[in-house]
Amino acid sequence: MADAVEIKPSLGSTIRAIDRKWGWFIALGIGELILGGIASTNLLAANLASVLFIGAAMLVGGIFQIVHAFSARGVRGFLYWLIGGIVYGAAGTVILYDPILGSLTLSLLAGVLLLVAGVLRAWAGFHSRPAAGWRWIVAAGVLTFCVGVILIAAWPVISLWLLGAMLVVDLIFQGWGFVAFGIALKARADRHRDRHVPA
């Protein structure tokens, strides 16, 4: 037990090890910013790339569910896992076979989900009265609902670029986040080094 305690790294050493990796975070952030910039030049291609990625992920997920079903054969829920895996894998296959149809379906689904989420959020905020800030929750729900209405009203034209635009925004925000995190790590590493440099 004593040996295990001795070899276990301390929190401080773990933090310092992360601090030394600041360059990797900045490089990753810059890479994502570049990819976001490239994707923004052709939203249709970015949209298709997003749809194909989703389709591939669904197909792989479906295969894993089917494998899991047979590995847990005889256990309750076998049929659920098997049918779920087949349906999930089939949906992924259809998306990969016809990404335009997949884009139409996914964008419409996104609009419907935003409608439902908006209603539920507004309902939750309204029933949180008189707690502080309940109006903000209701307002957020109404805004989400309105975005869902806009997506459905603009369908199917919006389906040609919606997922691509979401991918661009995600890459850019993640990229800036990693860059900012890397810079903060570098600043903390510099402060730590300066404190330990002999005068």
Instruction: Quote the percentage of the chain above a pLDDT of 90.
Output: 7
The token pair that represents 20 in the structure block = 């030394």
pLDDT of residue 73: 67
Instruction: Quote the percentage of the chain above a pLDDT of 70.
Output: 82
| Number of domains forming the structure of the chain | 1
The token pair that represents 14 in the structure block = 């773990």
Residue 32 counted as domain residue: yes
Residue 193 counted as domain residue: no
Q: What is the pLDDT of residues 24-52, one digit of tens each?
A: 888 888 998 998 898 888 888 888 888 88
Inform me whether the pLDDT recorded for 114 exceeds 80: yes
Mean pLDDT across 161-175: 84
Question: Could you list the residue range(s) of the whole structural domain that residue 43 is in?
Answer: 26-178
The token pair that represents 138 in the structure block = 């209701």
Residue 100 counted as domain residue: yes
Residue 166 counted as domain residue: yes
Report how far residue 178's alpha carbon sits from residue 180's, in angstroms, rounded to the nearest whole number: 5
Instruction: Read off the pTM.
Output: 0.63
Residue 1 counted as domain residue: no
Residue 163 counted as domain residue: yes
pLDDT band at 7 (very low <50, low <70, confident <90, very high): very low
Report how far residue 132's alpha carbon sits from residue 70's, in angstroms, rounded to the nearest whole number: 51
